[in-house]
């Protein structure tokens, strides 16, 4: 299983995103993207994600799930 981010729910704030800061594998990245509604997006680096679920527990907008 790997982390999946539902971008419709994700506010993509690197300042407040605990999963980015606390992922033990550093598998989440904040990427500036002017084409995105929020001006940025958070992505999962699948090669690094081990499916531990830490990001799911910490996500304040409940936009991350394991699939």
pLDDT of residue 37: 84
Going along the chain from its start, the domains and CATH numbers come out as: 3-66 (3.30.70.20)
Query: Are the beta carbons of 27 and 3 closer than 8 angstroms?
Result: yes
This prediction's pTM = 0.88
- Residue 42: beta bridge partners? 30
Question: pLDDT tens, 13-29?
Answer: 888 899 999 999 999 99
Pull the structure tokens for residue 10.
């994700």
């Amino acid at each position: 299983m790997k982390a999946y981010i539902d971008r419709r729910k994700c506010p993509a704030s690197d300042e407040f995103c605990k999963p980015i800061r606390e992922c033990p594998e550093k598998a989440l990245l904040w990427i500036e993207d002017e084409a995105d509604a929020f001006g940025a997006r958070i992505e999962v680096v699948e090669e690094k994600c081990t499916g531990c679920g830490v990001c799911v527990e910490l996500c304040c907008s409940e936009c991350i799930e394991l699939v």
